[in-house]
Amino acid sequence: MPGLLAKPWYERPLTHRDLEDLPEDGNRYEVIDGVLYVTPFPNVAHQWVATEFVAAIATYLVNHPIGRAFLAGTKVVLDEFSGVGPDLVFIANRNLVGLEEDGYYGAPDLAVEITSSKPRLDRIVKYQKYAAAGVPEYWIVDPKGHRLQVYKLARGKYRLAAEHVGGGIFEPTRFPGLRIDMARVWAGSSPPTAAASSPSGRRAPRSAKPPPRRRR
């Protein structure tokens, strides 16, 4: 898939263990079916939306301890040749047995991906892999389009169970009683303009240097 694959410097299919040898340079490295995928730093919209979902679900779990949620960077090992790092992962209490020091081994109850610079990775590659691995529920969140799609596994394939566009309240069946204000989620997905952040209303310069001091 053009634009998604990393430079094929390796001569064999990679395993999830190979992720430990890759550089810690801010990129996200994932192996799916032996192929390495690299995504750059997430943008501001991605991080804002991720923070809102994590905060909502984490707060819910404090009062409803039905499982544990983990942020991006937590390795999820779907099989020997697939190690991924979803933006958010939820694991029900009954499945926490797969949790180990270096990550989670098995299919989590919920994987959430927030589209950013490479949406095809989430919508095609991971969509197919999560279904094949038996992940029961998969959310794809699109900050740019203000769209949330909830997919549920049925007979080995995902079906669109719910779709939320724009504002309003999202009530995920995975978390009974949880109400997420989507207007709030989308509100900070666009950074303020330079003009808006400038007290004078004018566009602020990229780098403001103090004037040179005059010699007396």
Q: Give yes or no for a contact between 31 and 14, defined as CB atoms under 8 angstroms apart.
A: yes
Instruction: Classify domain 42-190 at the CATH superfamily level.
Output: tt1808, chain A (3.90.1570.10)
Query: Strand, helix or coil at 11?
Result: coil
With H, G, I as helix, E, B as strand and everything else as coil, classify residue 132. helix
pTM of the model: 0.83
126-136 average pLDDT score = 98
pLDDT at 216: 45
Q: What is the mean pLDDT of the chain?
A: 86
Domain locations in the chain as residue ranges: 42-190
200 or 168: whose pLDDT is higher? Answer: 168
Helix (H) or strand (E) holding 28: strand 28-32
Please name the residue ranges forming H helices in the chain.
Answer: 44-63, 119-120, 127-133, 182-187, 194-197
Does the structure show a pLDDT above 50 at 195? Answer: no
Minimum mean pLDDT among 23-32, 124-133, 173-182: which range? 23-32
Residue 49 backbone zone (phi > 0: left; psi -120 to 50: alpha; other: beta): alpha
The mean pLDDT value for 6-16 works out to: 74
How far is Cα 141 from Cα 113, in angstroms, rounded to an integer?
6
Q: Which two tokens stand for residue 7?
A: 């430079």
Instruction: Give dist(CA 19, CA 28) in Å, integer.
Output: 10
- Using the predicted structure, report yes or no on whether residue 155 has a pLDDT greater than 70: yes
- The yes-or-no verdict on residue 78 having pLDDT over 90 is yes
